[in-house]
Every structure is written in C-alpha cells, then in structure tokens.
Amino acid sequence: MSREKLLVIVSGMIIGVLAVILVHLGNPANMGFCIACFIRDISGSLGLHGAEVVQYLRPEIMGLILGSFAAAILFREFKPSGGSAPATRFVLGIIMMVGALVFLGCPLRMLLRLAGGDLNALVALPGYVAGIWVGTFFLKSRFTLGKSFPQGSSEGYTAPAAAVILLVFLVMAPPFVLFSENGPGSEYAFWGVALGAGLLVGLLAQRSRICTMGGIRDLILFKDTHLFAGLVALLLVVFVGKLAAGFFEPGFTGQPVAHTDGIWNFLGMLIVGWGAVLAGGCPLRQLILSGEGSSDGLITLLGLAAGAAIAHNFGLAASPEGVSLYGQAATGISLLLLLIIGILNSRSGLSNKTNAGSSVAGD
C-alpha cells in the first residue's frame, strides 16, 4: 500500500476517534463532526437565522480551516486562487445546505449516524451515492465551472482570518453573538478541545485530501479506492468504538437529531451528493480548500452559511418530527436547479442532445 493511501486511512480513523471523543465530551449525539450542522450553528450564532436551539460558534470549523492553513503553509501548498464561477458555487453551497438540513446532517454526519446505528442514515447513504452517480454523468459530459486563477494574498488569507475573528468572538462572547441555552446548540465539548480536534483533522485532511464525495466519485468513475478507503476506515472505527462503549443502538426511531421520513432522507442526501460533485468537494473538503487559499472554497462555505439562514428562516429545515411542506418544495427546487446548473455548464453531450430533442418537440 502506498504511503499516501495509508495517510488517507489513518486520517479516516483519527476523524472517527475524535468524533467519538467529542460526543463523549459534550457534542450532540452522533455529531462529533458535522460540517453542515456546525456551519448552521455559526450562522445562527451570528444572527443570520433565529432558530434558538442551533446557535453556537463551533470551534471545530475554525480549527479545520486553520489546520488546513497551517499544513498548506508548512508544506508550501498555500496558494491564493479563485475566480471559478463564484455565483454558481455560492448557489451550490446553498443547495448542499438545504439538502443536508432536509436529512439533518452533512455526509460526514451521515457516516457517524450510520456507525452509531441510526438506520435512517442507511436510507440516506444510497441517496448520497445516487446523487454522486448522477453527478458523474455531468462530469462525463465534460461539466466544468471553469478555471480558477492565481489571486493576490488577501484572497487567500480571508478564510483563516475570518476563522481567527470567530474564535475571538467565541472566547470574548460579545453581546451580539447568540448562544443557545437549550437544544443541540447548547451541547458542546470544551472549546479548546474542540478547536484542537478541528486543527488536527484540518491538518490531516489537507495532507490526505480526504473527501466523502471524492471517495465515492473516484470509485464510480475510475474504480479507484484511494479516498474510499478513508471513508471505510472512519466508519469502522466509529462503529467498533460505539459497540465497545455500549452506545451502538440500531433502529429507525428515537435516534438523536434525526427523523424517519425515508424518502426525504434519501432525496436530501442525493442533493448533497450531486451538489458536491458539481462543486468539486463535500462540505468538509470546501473547508480544507478555503484554508489552502481557495476563494472558490470560501464562496461555497458562504453559500452553505446563507443556505442555513434560508433553511431556518423559511422553515425548510427538517426537525425530528419530519420535513415540512416547504422543505419538500425546496428539495424539488434544489433538484431542478442542480439539473439546470449541470446542463448549462456541460460542454458536450447533454446540452447538445437537449437541443436536438427540442427540434422535434413541436409535432
């Protein structure tokens, strides 16, 4: 086995171990790491949405960005770049967040929920794979958001600087920052530990390029198991850890921060998978890219944060009771938008075929 693949596997295992530890130290159940949930909490803490139970400045997110930044600097891979379809990437961020909040978790949390025995995640996983599979059709039709270009240093330092400011807000707790008094937002590990875990994972993820979407996409496209091995390692470590600690409770009902609406769990994750293929990375990977100086990654994160505000302000986000009518409508709209973005940015096949088909449509 190559050194690089070993690094991916070790990264997966360490993410798994830290996820279990963070839950043990206070994070919500099956939420050691959840990029979507944590960005949603930050969004709420800054007052972008008013859902009082999910407002906290999750230091794991700042740690992930700064860990990636440190690794990139250390290994001379910090390269400010950007300018590849920022508006489209922003929209893809919104769409991924809507999908994640219909399911109640990002792909990373889907794996953690699955390993913890939440069988609703077993319904969502085929949805995620299906979404990635659909996305690969667009890649084969030469889908692209266009080239990014080298940028000035301020473009690259923006994400790490924002992470530092958010950490200052967390520690100083100025009155304009909101913190949940109950609900998932009030459950957290001590900030120093959470930050440390984020830093370590950010460093490892930058070095290994681990990505929940990339692992499955490369398996489908190239039969390449390089990144996939990391996902399997993560799943196994958490599963064994939970089993050994007696926290493995298989079932559909009564699972923490989850609902049992199968179709919406499936479709929510399908949207995240499809969106992640078009955006070139899952939410975790976007955080790592932003730390490396990619403003394309950062704009996707801002889309995720805006998506969280939209999802909670418009009542699209699911709750343990299920998915609202608005959430179901948003799911349909998201699918339609992904189709449009996919077709408009594919250079061969799909868009031509669509035109050819429309010439006989008048009959």
Partner 1 sequence: MTETIDVRGLSCPEPVMEVRNALSGKKTGEFTVLVSNATARDNVKRAVSSLGWKVEIKEIADGFELNLTR
Binding site for partner 1 (CB under 8 A): 4, 75, 77, 79, 81, 84, 139-140, 142, 144-150, 209, 214, 217-218, 221-222, 224, 226, 280-281, 292, 296
Which of 107/116 has CB closer to partner 1? 107
Q: How far apart are CA 168 and CA 174, in angstroms?
A: 9
Which of 187/296 has CB closer to partner 1? 296
In the complex, minimum distance from the CB of residue 324 to partner 1, in angstroms, rounded to a whole number: 34
In the complex, minimum distance from the CB of residue 290 to partner 1, in angstroms, rounded to a whole number: 14
Taking CA atoms, 228 is separated from 109, 212, 273, 280, in Å, by 16, 8, 15, 16
Query: What value does the CA radius of gyration of the chain take, rounded to a whole number of Å?
Result: 19
In the complex, minimum distance from the CB of residue 217 to partner 1, in angstroms, rounded to a whole number: 7
Which of 58/217 has CB closer to partner 1? 217
Which of 150/332 has CB closer to partner 1? 150
Q: How far apart are CA 185 and CA 312, in angstroms?
A: 14
Contact between 259 and 319 under an 8 Å Cβ cutoff? The reply is: yes
Q: How far apart are CA 343 and CA 354, in angstroms?
A: 9
In the complex, minimum distance from the CB of residue 296 to partner 1, in angstroms, rounded to a whole number: 7
In the complex, minimum distance from the CB of residue 208 to partner 1, in angstroms, rounded to a whole number: 10
Q: What single-letter DSSP state applies at residue 28?
A: P
At residue 314, φ and ψ (nearest 5 deg) are -95, 5
Which of 214/275 has CB closer to partner 1? 214
In the complex, minimum distance from the CB of residue 7 to partner 1, in angstroms, rounded to a whole number: 11
In the complex, minimum distance from the CB of residue 132 to partner 1, in angstroms, rounded to a whole number: 11
- The residues, any chain, with a CB within 8 Å of residue 258's CB and separated by 6 or more, are 30, 104, 105, 113, 118, 120, 121, 320
Q: How far apart are CA 292 and CA 132, in angstroms?
A: 24
Which of 280/342 has CB closer to partner 1? 280
At residue 120, φ and ψ (nearest 5 deg) are -65, -30
In the complex, minimum distance from the CB of residue 146 to partner 1, in angstroms, rounded to a whole number: 8
Which of 52/224 has CB closer to partner 1? 224
At residue 144, φ and ψ (nearest 5 deg) are -155, 145
Q: How far apart are CA 41 and CA 185, in angstroms?
A: 7
What is the total residue count of the chain? 363
List 53's β-bridge partners, or say none: none
